[in-house]
Amino acid sequence: MIPGAIYFAETSKLIVALTIDDGPDAITTPKILEVLQSYEARATFFLISNRVKDNESVVAEIVANKNELGNHLTEDKPSIKLSPQEFESDLLEANISLSRFAKPYWLRPASGLYNTTMVETAQKYGYHIVLGSLFPFDTHIHSSWFASKHILFNVRPGSIIVLHDGGSRGRRTALTLETILPELNRRGYRVVTLSELFREVKDFVNHASAR
């Protein structure tokens, strides 16, 4: 594990971050947003900037519903295979596209692989690279039932959940959220964006140390 990426938050507070990759999608993203709103949950959407064109209203809806945008570069291809110059160019191109709606501060390399040069480039432009601690293999195991069971069995305070949008993946994510969100609520968890998670964890730690 290379230093410089975030996988989870250190906390005992009942709070987790939900992240959703690979949108926007004209059909499935609104379904996901509807489920989130039903359970008063929020998420960080890691968007592929080449998919923003013709989906501007969907991106605007993400932001309007108090969710957060994350940078998932310009295309769905392994970021680790890009040269340093290509990675920097892709990061900046995606940043320009997404910043029209809201400034993103979180970056997730495509395919989840990264190196120290990518970390340094991200930090140069004010980004934090974030992966996750709870990934139910929804890109490979096409089962909402499995994803729901995996998340609910393994969730812990400070978990960062990774799910995917777009086509059949997005439809499964909407179904998975319909299952896990009411149960997480029942257990006392709040499901929030990455920025909310780390803001609350920081406040929680500061408050505890002041006692």
Handedness of CA 62, 53, 126, 21 (dihedral sign): positive
- Calculate the CA 88 to chain-centre distance: 20
- Residue 164, phi then psi, degrees to nearest 5: -130, 150
The yes-or-no answer on residue 21 being catalytic is yes
* CA-to-CA dists, residue 96 to 34, 73, 188, 203, 209, angstroms: 27, 11, 38, 31, 39
Which residue of the set 22, 164, 165, 207 is catalytic?
Answer: 164
d(CA 179, CA 175): 7
Which residue of the set 21, 22, 138, 165 is catalytic?
Answer: 21
d(CA 159, CA 10): 9
Segments of 24-143 assigned E as strands: 44-47, 68-71, 106-107, 128-130
d(CA 40, CA 22): 22
* CA-to-CA dists, residue 128 to 123, 144, 145, 174, angstroms: 6, 29, 32, 27
The yes-or-no answer on residue 142 being catalytic is no
- With contact defined as beta carbons under 8 Å apart, do 33 and 61 qualify? yes
Catalytic residues: 21, 164
